[in-house]
Amino acid sequence: MNEDKTRDLIKDSLLHTSDQFTENFMRRIEFRDSLSRNFFRIFVISILCCTIFVFLISKIKSNFTFPHIPLQIPHLSIQILGVLFVFALLNKLILLREKILKLM
């Protein structure tokens, strides 16, 4: 068969998207952008809260009695636990953001 005829035939196979395709896509992008901005705010607030939390943890007394047994936890262990907690929290936040962005 002639190449031009084949070309003409296949040019006729052009399919069209629905009328709202572009609008839906632009709305999706706007929503995604606003979500990213909000997540950034939440991220900053979380970091601030975590910093305060770590600061407070570092002030905890390392010697205390519970209930009548005297306990002594090294200061460094408390600080390490605090930092691990902060990292776990931030990790959860990032994972949550990724999940939401994937769903969109």
How many whole angstroms separate alpha carbon 48 and alpha carbon 45?
5
**Per rule CB under 8 A, is residue 22 in the interface with other proteins?**
yes
Q: Is 100 in the site for other proteins (CB under 8 A)?
A: no
Residue 65 as a binder of other proteins (CB under 8 A): the answer is: no
14 is a site residue for other proteins (CB under 8 A): yes
Q: Does residue 6 belong to the site contacting other proteins (CB under 8 A)?
A: yes
Q: What angle do CA 36, 39, 45 make, to 5 degrees?
A: 150
Measured from the CB of residue 103, what is the shortest distance to other proteins in angstroms? Answer: 12
Q: Does 95 bind other proteins (CB under 8 A)?
A: no
Report the nearest approach of other proteins to the CB of residue 71 (Å). Answer: 52
**DSSP states of 54-86 as a string?**
HHHHHTS-SEEESSSSEEE--HHHHHHHHHHHH
The DSSP 8-state label assigned to residue 13 in this structure reads T
